[in-house]
Structure 1
Amino acid sequence: MNGGTLFALAHPLVVMLIGVAVLALWRGDARRPPYLLYFGLSYLAYSFGVSAQILLVPTNHVLNVVFSGMMYLFATMFFARGLISLSGAAYEYAIPAAIIILSLACRLYFVQVEDNGIMRASLLHGSIFLLFLHAAYVARSLRKGLLSEKITFYSFILFTLTTPLKLLFASARPVGSYGFDFSSYWAVTTISIYAFALIFGLALIITIIQRNQLAKENIDENLSLISHDLRAPLATIVGNLRLLQENATPEQRAHMQAIERSTQYQNSLIDDIIAGGQEARPLQINPELMDLRPFLEELSLHGRTWCRQNHNTFSLDVATILPSQIRTDGRRLKQALLNLLSNAALATHEGRVSLHVKSVDQGQGLARISFEVHDTGHGVEVEHQSQLFEAYQRFDQQRPGTGLGLYIAQRIAHNLAGTLDVKSLPGKGSCFSLTLSVPTLESDSLPKGWQPTALDGTNPEPPDSGIEGSQRQPAAPPCHNPPEDLRQQLATYASHGRYSDIQDWINLPALQNPCYLDFRTAVQAALDDLDFDRLQALAQSKDSRSL
């Protein structure tokens, strides 16, 4: 291989590097825009064609003509396909396919039957001109787009118009020349390719930037509209709740206040959606002083509500003395733990879900607090545990959700400078542990075994031991249901959806006998879920042991 050949190979090498760079840009874009893929493949195909034309000259004339011509046509087709994809128009395969097949057939004829280089060059450049002309017509909508899109389109048109000029120089080159001999044809071809690549590449980069900016602005606008539509019903809920609280009993008012707190939390999540669209730092942390007592009460409320849906029991276990106040982002911590509790409640049926909290004093006003969510669900297979915290991972397609809960919890744990770990035994259950070190404030502590007050007047479930927990003990001895007249009254209230009357019915003195605790608990759970069909079924049941 002489110096001239090595010098000639520099041209396809540069083009190949451009192709690799474009493909890397495509690979790095999460949206995988197809036009970048086609442009990258076009540059690679062209570099292969030029390299083959240079290296196969002294060895195989026929293979040189056929392979290089095919690579040039494929490069043209890929580039035309990329331009059409950039414009958003639909690609039509019939015309390009007919041009390529006819061109290759004629090229093969003029090398095997009649060796005519002028005809081969004319056919090749004519086919390229037609393919580019067809692409320019299909992608003509780029003329009305952004300024960078217009530059992209018209630079393509200009490059297309140089094809007849290159054909003119090709017909005048010496016999036996293959285009890398410093002839006028070589100069025009090389200069036009590099000039086009420079202008087109810059315009394409600017187009990508401008399109991304427009897409972000559209997302921000859509998020603003969606947030307005989400806030409106929440405001209606809060307004009606406050009206109901005026004539509600203390127990009813406690439930309504819990609903109002949930709507406030939902509003904060809507704010996060807006902030996530406008900022580059989603799930941002804002540490503030937080009281653990109402925090754990809120978690317990959500845990019990979710667990009732699958007939689970929920318990809170304060395993050690806890500092009453810590400095962290309480909203983010709640968001992570609610995701863990929700997943546990969904994964468990007629079992137990528990939240274990413990603290270790690290000195100098710091404590290491661990929140462990245990469940007795089906567990996670060993081969899936390493992928649990990846986005959109759903190993059980029967369960609702998007597969983002654990991913969000893991991100929050990381942003809080904590860790989120999992231990799971298939068929026995799982334990997710969120641990973080936090500053504490010297004040009254939460004692070991502390329990929040249940809103429905019942005692909270006793803590369990997680995966290897003990069997549930009955809260009260089984007995017959309340008298038939009281149950008939409940059925009447349920058939008319009379929420307040049912709540008053639960509090009747005649039903406060411990013997009716299971029945009252089942009625309260159905009422919390607004399941009036279930209430009617309870009213018609004959024995509380069938609940």
Structure 2
Amino acid sequence: MLDELGSLPAGLAWLKSDIHPNPVVAILGLATNLIVLAAWINHVGRQRIAARTELADWQRTERDRLREQVAQRTLELNEALRYAEGKNQQLIETLGFVSHDLRAPLATITGYARLLLDRADSKQTGLIQSIERTVNYQLGLIDELVGYAKAELQPLNIAPVVTDLPALLDDIAEYAVALCVQLNNQFHYQPLTSLPRQLTIDGLRLQQVLLNLLSNASKFTRDGVVMMTVRARRQDDHWHMGFEVADTGIGIDIEEQSKLLTAFRQIRSVNGSTGLGLFIAQRIVSTMGGDLRVSSTPHRGTSFSFELAVAVAEDRNASPANVVQYSSARSTQILPPSRHRLAVSVPPESDRRELAILAKDGRLTDMERWIETMLRIHPSCAAFLTEMRHCLETLDFAGAEALALAPYETDRAVNGQGLMPDNQAQL
């Protein structure tokens, strides 16, 4: 500016030289840049320190918040777990009580059925045996509930044993006939191939699956046909068994078939139906290594089928005592087992008559209380009470009643062996 105005002294003319560098200007510019850079570095450093401090504070606060939240959730979960355990314990106890008391009337039916067999003719024998088999099947399921309530076994546990397969299937077929009669349905059972005589399989579980399927088929079919078919194919040391239950009932829509095996799922409401039959059947079949399949057409019928790989019975010549047998109406008459009764010190006759009344009515719980009371009052009758308790454990109410009413001449053994003959122990 001084040069343009012409006021630049001659001694300072070198300042505007383009050939020689200007050291003053360069030093001033460098110093200025260094000062600015130092100020920026200092500013960034303070920002980083402030950010690091803020982050540490946030992390500490968030950690404390999460710790409190986890503690609160843990407390809530523990309370929920205790509540669930309490409810589960109540459920198991209720299940045990109900199952325990359900056994008494069913066992009473069995006892009277055995007594009726003694007087039944050839036509009545098959019907009475069907009643007895039905009650025994229900008692087996109730025993499982009692065992589960006692935590002695898991539900739907599989226990394969050597089983008489044809007799089991004949027994199931006779159940199915009774189920189909209710809605005027015809039942057909047909083995598609020759079947093995003995299999290593859980017959009770197989019976449970097939009866659930047959029950559903008979409920949703009216004036139609229900069919059960069975086929077998031997491969190495296994039998590949195929089971199918088909009906000509109402059928199932395609969109409903995927939801069919869900617990408490009912396609159509039916009296006495809970929606658990197919769910239980699927669980059993899955546990046994199979898969329950469904094929259905609306208004034309439904088919349920499954296949199982079953081990061949190891001992083909197994004695009947080692093979689970299933009776049918064509089998021989079932008679009450013959038993010897202990003839030792017994409670007074009036007390024994009271026990006989309880046994006749099948009042299992009251009988157990009676035994406990007598054991305190008459400890010398321990042998008699032990035998009576054995009758209760086997649900032999007829035997308990006979034992209570049997004539006792003295409080000691009638014979030298301390046993009373059978003819004196019968009513």
TM-score range (shorter-chain normalised) is: 0.5 to 0.7
Q: Given the superposition, is the C-alpha separation of residues 356 and 204 from structure 1 closer, same or farther in structure 2, using an over 3 Å criterion? A: same
Pairing partner for 2:298 from 412, 426, 430: 426
Q: Which has the higher contact order (CA 8 A, sep 6+)?
A: 2
Q: Deviations over 1:99-128 (max 9, x none)?
A: xxxxxxxxxxxxxxxxxxxxxxxxxxxxxx
Pairing partner for 2:243 from 361, 366, 371: 371
Does residue 324 in structure 1 map to residue 197 in structure 2?
Answer: yes
2:130 match? 258
Any conservation in 2 of the 1:314–1:354 contact (CA below 8 Å)?
Answer: yes
Matched residues in 1 for 2:115 and 2:185: separation? 33
Matched residues in 2 for 1:334 and 1:265: separation? 9
Pairing partner for 1:207 from 56, 79, 104: 79
Q: Which amino acid aligns with 1:431?
A: S
Q: Given the superposition, is the C-alpha separation of residues 348 and 206 from structure 1 closer, same or farther in structure 2, using an over 3 Å criterion? A: same
**Superposition pairs for residues 255-334 of structure 1, below 5 Å?**
255-279=127-151, 281-334=154-207
C-alpha deviation, 1:301, in angstroms: 0.8
Aligned length: 270
Q: Which amino acid aligns with 1:313?
A: Q
C-alpha deviation, 1:256, in angstroms: 0.9
Q: Given the superposition, is the C-alpha separation of residues 203 and 416 from structure 1 closer, same or farther in structure 2, using an over 3 Å criterion? A: same
Does residue 396 in structure 1 map to residue 268 in structure 2?
Answer: yes
Q: Which amino acid aligns with 1:243?
A: L
Q: TM-score, structure 1 length as denominator?
A: 0.46
Q: Given the superposition, is the C-alpha separation of residues 393 and 11 from structure 1 closer, same or farther in structure 2, using an over 3 Å criterion? A: farther
2:215 match? 342
**Superposition pairs for residues 102-181 of structure 1, below 5 Å?**
none
Does residue 435 in structure 1 map to residue 295 in structure 2?
Answer: no
C-alpha deviation, 1:225, in angstroms: 1.3
The 3-state SS of whatever aligns with 1:419 is coil
Q: Given the superposition, is the C-alpha separation of residues 320 and 208 from structure 1 closer, same or farther in structure 2, using an over 3 Å criterion? A: same
Pairing partner for 1:218 from 90, 97, 104: 90
Any conservation in 1 of the 2:241–2:310 contact (CA below 8 Å)?
Answer: yes
Gaps of 5+ in 2: 1-49, 318-326, 331-427
Report % sequence identity.
36
Q: CA RMSD in A?
A: 2.7
Matched residues in 1 for 2:105 and 2:244: separation? 34
Any conservation in 1 of the 2:96–2:145 contact (CA below 8 Å)?
Answer: no
2:224 match? 351
Does residue 410 in structure 1 map to residue 410 in structure 2?
Answer: no
Q: Which amino acid aligns with 2:249?
A: G
Q: Deviations over 1:323-350 (max 9, x none)?
A: 0110011101111111000000001110
Matched residues in 1 for 2:141 and 2:162: separation? 20
Q: Given the superposition, is the C-alpha separation of residues 202 and 389 from structure 1 closer, same or farther in structure 2, using an over 3 Å criterion? A: closer
Q: Deviations over 1:227-285 (max 9, x none)?
A: 12211110111121122111111221121112111111111111222333444832010
1:360 match? 233
C-alpha deviation, 1:17, in angstroms: 6.0
C-alpha deviation, 1:419, in angstroms: 1.8
Q: Given the superposition, is the C-alpha separation of residues 231 and 9 from structure 1 closer, same or farther in structure 2, using an over 3 Å criterion? A: same
Q: Which amino acid aligns with 1:316?
A: Y
Q: Given the superposition, is the C-alpha separation of residues 308 and 202 from structure 1 closer, same or farther in structure 2, using an over 3 Å criterion? A: same
Q: Given the superposition, is the C-alpha separation of residues 266 and 201 from structure 1 closer, same or farther in structure 2, using an over 3 Å criterion? A: same
Q: Deviations over 1:184-220 (max 9, x none)?
A: xxxxxxxxxx3x963x555544434433333333222
Q: Which amino acid aligns with 2:95?
A: L
Any conservation in 2 of the 1:216–1:277 contact (CA below 8 Å)?
Answer: no
Q: Deviations over 1:261-317 (max 9, x none)?
A: 111111111122233344483201011011012201111111110101111000101
Any conservation in 1 of the 2:246–2:304 contact (CA below 8 Å)?
Answer: yes
Q: Which amino acid aligns with 2:129?
A: Q
Gaps of 5+ in 1: 19-193, 445-451, 456-547
1:233 match? 105
Any conservation in 2 of the 1:346–1:399 contact (CA below 8 Å)?
Answer: no
The 3-state SS of whatever aligns with 1:322 is coil
The 3-state SS of whatever aligns with 1:430 is strand
Q: Given the superposition, is the C-alpha separation of residues 13 and 380 from structure 1 closer, same or farther in structure 2, using an over 3 Å criterion? A: farther
Q: TM-score, structure 2 length as denominator?
A: 0.58
